[in-house]
Structures are given as C-alpha cells and as structure tokens.
C-alpha cells in the first residue's frame, strides 16, 4: 500500500483537487451561464459587472416561450420526428441485426463493411441530392422528408449497435424454438425481442439524440415556420427579435431537457449508445 | 422430419437473412448509395437540379472550385479547426480521465464529477453555438472576467473580428467535444489489468514512468480509433460555425461545409456545390478506409 500522510503526498492530493475544480469550471460554467441567463430579464443579462445569480429572478422568458404556439409547434415537431424515426429505426435495425447475428450468408462481410463505412458519409454531400429528390417527389417541407432522410443516418449505427447486442445472447434460445418446429421469425419475436430490451433502449436513446440534434436537413428541407424543429427555432429566434437573449437561453434549456433527462434516467444506455461504435 | 421437409427448411434458412436485411438495404441503397451516385452526376452537369435536361459540363465545376481562393481558404480553416479540435479533445479527455481514475479522490466526488464533466456532450450544436455567442458577446461575461484579471485591455469582438473568429469557433468546438474521449478513455483505463501497475511498483517505477510505459501504450488502440472518428466527424461540422459566425467575417471561418452550403443554397449553384460536396466525400472516404483497415488489423 502507498503511504498517504507524507507532506509531499498531501500536496499532490491538494493539487489534484485544485485541477479538478478548474476542470469543473471549464466544463460547467457555460451551462451554468445559460441557466443563469434564462432566469434574468433581458436588460440584466448584460449588466456590468455580470450578476452571478439573477438579481431579479424571473420566469418571463419561459412564459414567453411556453405561451407562444409557434414555439410549442417547434417542440412538437422535434418530438414527433425524433419519435417516428426512433420507432422505424429500431424495428428495421432489429430485423437487420437478427439477420447478421443469427445467419451466415454470402456477402455478409462486405455488407458489414458497407454499413460501417456509411457511418462517416458527410451529411452535406447527401444534402444536395436529397434536396433534388425531395423537391421532385413533392415532399419538400413535410415530415416525410425529414423522417426519410434522418433514417439514413440513424440506421447504420443502430444496426451495428443491435447486432453487437444480439451477438451477446446465447444461440441455444432460438435453436430451442427451431427444435419445436418454429420459424426464425417466431424465435425473433417470442424469444429474442423480450430479452433484447437493454439493446433496444440503447439504440432508441442514440437514435432519438441524433434526430433531436439534427440541424442541416431540417434547415434545408423545410421552409414554413410550422414545420421547423427546435434547433431551427432557436436560430430563427436569433434573427427575429433583436437578440432576446433570455428567451434564447430559456428555449435552449427547454430544448436540452430531453437529453438531460435521458442521461440522468438511463445513463448506462446513453453511454453504451454513444460509445459502442467507437470503442469496440 | 421427411427429406422434403428438411430441404424446404434449409431453403428457408438460406433465404431468411436476405429477407431480414431487405428493409435496411433498400433504405441504404435508395437513400444513400443512389444519392451518392446522383451527386457525382450533378457535379458533371450544367445547372444540375434546376434544369430538367442539364448538359454535360465535364470537369468545369471542379476547375472552378480549384481556381477559387475561398475554397482553399475553407480547406485550410477546416484543417486547422479539425486538427486543433482533435488534439485538444484528446488532451483534455485524457487529463480528465486520468484525474477521475486517480484513487486519491473520494468515490462520491468522483461520480458527481464524472457526470458534470460529461455535460458539454449533452447539448445540441445549435445550443452550444448560442451559449458561446452569449459568453463571447463584446459585453459578455468572458470579456468582463478577462478585463478584470487584466488579460485583455479592451473588449474583444471574438466572433466578429477576422483575427479571433477562427480561434473562437475552434475553442467552442473543443469545449463541446472532449467528453467522447474522456468517456472512452475512462472505460479503457478500467480495462488495464492491475498487475501491470503492481509489477511496476515492485520495480520502483515512478508515476510518470507508469503513465508512459503502461497507461498510454495500453490506451493506444482507443486513442487512434477515436481520433480518426473525431477527425472525420469534426471535418463535417456545420451548425456550430453556421450559427456563431456563418463563415465570416470576410470568409475567416469559412469551412468546407459552409462553403458548399452557400454555393448550393445562397448562390443556387448546385452543380459547383456538388463538385465541392464530392471533394468532401472523397476526403471522408479516404479517412474512412484508413479507419476500417485499422479496425480490421486490430
């Protein structure tokens, strides 16, 4: 065991804690400042010297956001699109993952490589053909345009994530179903799905996050205010009013809530989803 | 089981995987591979998308891009932005991971700090951009603090002066992206067998020697693969720059993605934008091949 009480040792421990505090300031101050500003009036935000706590605590910025149907619509759109893409992605990825995990077939290796490499395709490259396609099929400025294009980016990683999870499940389970004369389809729904919940949750969390954060496609493939999502809504807020910073911060806080909640409730799945592809 | 039944079963097993993969392959084929071919075709056409019967343009649009000084400036900014981001993501992620992994901290504090250090990761690029615009406003809190300490004499317009804008967006991106490294390295640190350190202790190794000869070599595979992924993803960053500076002032923060976007949707020169998008695609594909080969070699 290491000795803990020499003066040198205490000095190192103290220095470590100072460094930890500096790290905390670096990581958390910007977020604290967003929260702090969202509870101020717009005039107090640029008061000199800046106020570390709101001098006149107010919820007016939140009231302004939540009382405005246009802004509530941004939130509805974000939840709706992210929710729809998540459901579709999980179902489609589960089927593909089952194929990858439980069968050997010609072309499996190259398909797997194809799926890994599609993860890094730049969104800006696909944006221009998507724009052409979406306009020519008459789905510009619709949910369908967003849902279809988001799927392309959520699917590859979701397939890898689900395949990784299914590979950890013992094969005897579905073989037992086969012995009883059941098809692989019955095995999938009766046996695999019920025990795959952790994998499904991790995939859903990851997919939802990706959609919730998406900016480029939402910016380009929608046009009317009623079709905009939260990230675009925040950008619109910047242009519209001559910088209502408190409202922008309140909307940012509200726009971050889903991710914060998911992180706090399902930390394990969140981290599994965010790092699985890169660590393995 | 009769023979007929068994062969029927075999056939089913042979066809089944393709059926399970059909929906995914349709989506990837129609919405990813086909558009990739389309964008390449666009880049060789005059007035792509805008005209029904575009004429063949040859390499004209590529020529136009390579003759454009803004393109080269964007490429340089992208490189600077990406390299600095990856280097600092790695350094900060490593320092934080090592600090959190140190057994001098009490476990409760460690758990609280681990959650707080991940915070920047939980925010959308647009929100990160808005937060940093607020912080770095000329009348904002950062200028106010820096002036009080005496580091700067007068208010700096971080995002709107050409000398500081690129550094400012890079800094914001560094802040936003280090947690991926931190989390991955922390997981990696916990996977290093304890005996390695015990053996080193017996040999009388100092802390820095253990870091250089055990910890870093053990983490190398993670460092390399995350750096490659981070490089590929950072190269494609759009919203952070779009919202903070929009590529300005005077192109000083123009990167390949904003350059391409403006060509396409401000100038409506979709052919030339496609050529630029193909260049970005080629760079990404090159890096991706490298990444896949590295992953397979491991």
- Say if CB A263 and CB A111 are below 8 A apart: no
- Confidence band for A43, pLDDT divided at 50, 70 and 90: confident
Q: Domains of chain A: which residue ranges?
A: 7-60, 68-279
Closest CA to B253 of B170, B172, B176: B170
- Residue B48: pLDDT above 90? no
Of the candidate ranges A172-181, A257-266, B228-237, B240-249, the one whose mean pLDDT is the lowest: A172-181
Q: Please report, rounded to a whole number, the percentage of residues in chain A having pLDDT higher than 90.
A: 47
* Angstroms from B211 CA to nearest CA on chain A: 16
**Would residue B254 count as lying in a domain?**
yes
Q: How far is CA B2 from the centre of its chain?
A: 57
Q: Exposure string (b/e) for A141-165, b if CB count within 10 Å is 16 or more? A: bbeebbbbbbbbbbbbbbbbbbbbb
- Say if CB A256 and CB B124 are below 8 A apart: yes
**Would residue B51 count as lying in a domain?**
no
pLDDT for residue A276: 55
Q: What is the CA radius of gyration of chain A?
A: 24
**Would residue B66 count as lying in a domain?**
yes
What gap in Å lies between CA A53 and CA A38, rounded to an integer? 11
Judge whether B99 is closer than 8 Å to chain A, CB to CB.
yes
Q: Exposure string (b/e) for A62-97, b if CB count within 10 Å is 16 or more? A: bebbeeeeebebbbebbbebbbbbbebbbebbbbbb
What gap in Å lies between CA B170 and CA B173, rounded to an integer? 5
In 3-state terms, what secondary structure has residue A9? helix
pLDDT for residue B173: 96
What is the domain-level CATH number for residue B263? 1.10.3720.10
- Confidence band for A4, pLDDT divided at 50, 70 and 90: low
For helices B34-42 and A123-136, give the axis angle rounded to 10 degrees: 90
In 3-state terms, what secondary structure has residue B56? strand
Which of B36, B120, B148 is nearest residue A27 as measured by Cβ atoms?
Answer: B120
**Would residue B26 count as lying in a domain?**
no
- Residue A1: pLDDT above 50? no
Residues 239-278 of chain B with CB under 8 A from chain A are 239, 242-243, 256-257, 260-261, 264-265, 270, 273-274, 277-278
Q: Tell me whether residues B36 and A216 touch, CB distance under 8 A.
A: no
- Residue A280: pLDDT above 60? no
- Say if CB A154 and CB A82 are below 8 A apart: no
Q: Tell me whether residues B13 and A248 touch, CB distance under 8 A.
A: no
pLDDT (average), residues B276-294:
91
pLDDT for residue B3: 61
What gap in Å lies between CA B41 and CA B58, rounded to an integer? 10
Closest CA to B37 of A29, A128, A165: A128
* Angstroms from B79 CA to nearest CA on chain A: 16
| Residue carrying structure tokens 């100038």 | B267
pLDDT (average), residues B120-140:
91
What gap in Å lies between CA B157 and CA A2, rounded to an integer? 51
Q: Tell me whether residues A20 and B232 touch, CB distance under 8 A.
A: no
**Would residue B234 count as lying in a domain?**
yes
Which of B130, B232, B278 is nearest residue A234 as measured by Cβ atoms?
Answer: B130
Q: Tell me whether residues B261 and A127 touch, CB distance under 8 A.
A: yes
Residue of B nearest to A188 (CA): B20
- Residue A142: pLDDT above 50? yes
pLDDT digits (tens, 9 = 90+) for B60-85: 899 999 999 999 999 999 999 999 99
Which of A129, A213, A267 is nearest residue B125 as measured by Cβ atoms?
Answer: A213
Q: Please report, rounded to a whole number, the percentage of residues in chain A having pLDDT higher than 70.
A: 94
Q: How far is CA A31 from the centre of its chain?
A: 18
Peptide bond into A49 cis (omega under 30): yes
- Residue B216: pLDDT above 60? yes
- Residue A29: pLDDT above 90? yes
| Residue carrying structure tokens 């490189």 | B79
- Say if CB A141 and CB A223 are below 8 A apart: yes
Residues 207-226 of chain B with CB under 8 A from chain A are 222, 225-226
Q: Tell me whether residues A128 and B270 touch, CB distance under 8 A.
A: yes
CA angle A63, A66, A69 (to 5 degrees): 130
B92 exposure class (CB count in 10 Å sphere: 0-12, 13-18, 19+): buried
Residue of B nearest to A213 (CA): B124
> What is the residue range of B233's domain?
60-297
* Angstroms from B113 CA to nearest CA on chain A: 7
Residue of B nearest to A111 (CA): B25
Closest CA to A32 of B242, B20, B109, B116: B116
Q: Tell me whether residues B288 and A135 touch, CB distance under 8 A.
A: no
Q: Please report, rounded to a whole number, the percentage of residues in chain B having pLDDT higher than 70.
A: 97
What is the average pLDDT score of chain A? 87
- Say if CB B238 and CB A124 are below 8 A apart: yes
pLDDT for residue B126: 93
What gap in Å lies between CA B139 and CA A11, rounded to an integer? 39
CATH of A68-279, one of 1.10.1660.10, 1.10.10.10, 3.30.420.40, 1.10.3720.10: 1.10.3720.10
- Say if CB A187 and CB A170 are below 8 A apart: no
pLDDT digits (tens, 9 = 90+) for A208-245: 988 999 999 999 999 998 999 999 999 988 876 667 88
pLDDT for residue A242: 63
Residue of B nearest to A158 (CA): B24
pLDDT for residue A227: 92
The complex's ipTM? 0.88
- How many other C-beta atoms can be found within 10 angstroms of the C-beta atom of residue A52? 10
Q: How far is CA A184 from the centre of its chain?
A: 32
Instruction: Tell me how many domains chain B contains.
Output: 1
Of the candidate ranges A41-50, A108-117, B24-33, B233-242, the one whose mean pLDDT is the lowest: A41-50
- Say if CB B10 and CB B18 are below 8 A apart: no
- Confidence band for A84, pLDDT divided at 50, 70 and 90: very high
Closest CA to B139 of B164, B158, B125: B158
What gap in Å lies between CA B29 and CA B83, rounded to an integer? 33
Of the candidate ranges A204-213, A238-247, B258-267, the one whose mean pLDDT is the lowest: A238-247
């Amino acid at each position: 065991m290491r000795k803990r009480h020499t003066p040198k040792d205490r000095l190192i421990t103290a220095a470590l804690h100072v460094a930890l505090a500096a790290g905390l300031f670096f990581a958390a101050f910007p977020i604290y400042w967003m929260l702090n500003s969202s509870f101020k009036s717009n005039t107090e935000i640029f008061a000199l010297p800046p106020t570390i706590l709101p001098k006149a605590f107010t919820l007016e910025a939140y009231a302004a956001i939540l009382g405005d149907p246009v802004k509530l619509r941004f939130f509805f759109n974000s939840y709706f699109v992210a929710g729809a893409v998540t459901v579709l992605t999980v179902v489609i990825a589960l089927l593909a993952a089952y194929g990858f995990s439980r069968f050997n077939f010609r072309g499996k290796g190259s398909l797997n490589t194809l799926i890994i490499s599609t993860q890094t395709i730049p969104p800006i490259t696909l944006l221009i053909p998507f724009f052409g396609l979406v306009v020519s099929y008459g789905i510009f400025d619709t949910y369908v345009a967003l849902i279809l294009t988001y799927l392309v980016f959520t699917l590859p990683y979701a397939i890898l994530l689900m395949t990784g999870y299914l590979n950890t499940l013992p094969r005897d389970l579905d073989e037992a179903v086969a012995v009883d004369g059941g098809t692989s389809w019955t095995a999938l729904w009766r046996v695999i799905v019920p025990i795959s919940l952790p994998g499904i949750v991790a995939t859903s969390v990851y997919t939802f996050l990706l959609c919730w954060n998406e900016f480029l496609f939402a910016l380009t493939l929608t046009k009317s205010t009623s079709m905009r999502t939260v990230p675009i809504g925040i950008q619109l807020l910047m242009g519209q009013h001559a910088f209502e910073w408190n409202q922008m911060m309140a909307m940012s806080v509200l726009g971050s809530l889903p991710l914060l909640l998911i992180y706090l409730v399902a930390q394990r799945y969140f981290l599994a989803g965010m790092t699985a592809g890169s660590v393995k | 089981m009769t023979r007929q039944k068994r062969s029927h079963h075999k056939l089913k097993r042979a066809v089944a995987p393709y059926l399970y993969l059909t929906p995914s392959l349709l989506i990837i084929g129609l919405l990813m591979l086909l558009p990739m071919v389309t964008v390449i075709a666009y880049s060789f056409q005059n007035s792509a998308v805008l005209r029904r019967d575009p004429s063949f343009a040859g390499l004209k649009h590529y020529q136009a891009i390579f003759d454009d000084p803004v393109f080269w400036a964007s490429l340089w900014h992208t490189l600077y932005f990406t390299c600095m981001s990856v280097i600092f993501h790695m350094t900060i992620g490593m320092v934080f991971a090592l600090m959190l992994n140190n057994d001098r901290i009490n476990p409760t504090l460690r758990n609280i700090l681990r959650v707080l250090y991940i915070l920047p990761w939980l925010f959308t690029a647009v929100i990160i951009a808005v937060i940093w615009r607020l912080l770095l406003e000329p009348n904002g809190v950062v200028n106010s603090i820096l002036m009080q300490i005496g580091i700067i004499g007068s208010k700096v317009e971080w995002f709107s002066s050409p000398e500081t804008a690129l550094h400012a967006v890079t800094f914001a991106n560094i802040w936003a992206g280090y947690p991926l490294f931190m989390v991955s390295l922390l997981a990696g640190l916990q996977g290093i067998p304890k005996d390695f350190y015990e053996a080193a202790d017996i040999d009388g190794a100092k802390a820095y020697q253990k870091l250089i000869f055990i910890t870093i070599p053990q983490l190398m595979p993670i460092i390399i693969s995350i750096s490659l992924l981070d490089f590929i993803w950072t190269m494609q960053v759009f919203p952070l720059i779009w919202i903070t500076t929009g590529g300005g002032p005077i192109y000083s923060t123009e990167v390949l993605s904003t350059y391409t976007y403006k060509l396409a949707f401000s100038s409506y020169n979709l052919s030339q934008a496609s050529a630029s998008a193909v260049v970005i695609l080629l760079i990404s594909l090159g890096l991706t091949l490298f990444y896949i080969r590295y992953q397979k070699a491991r």
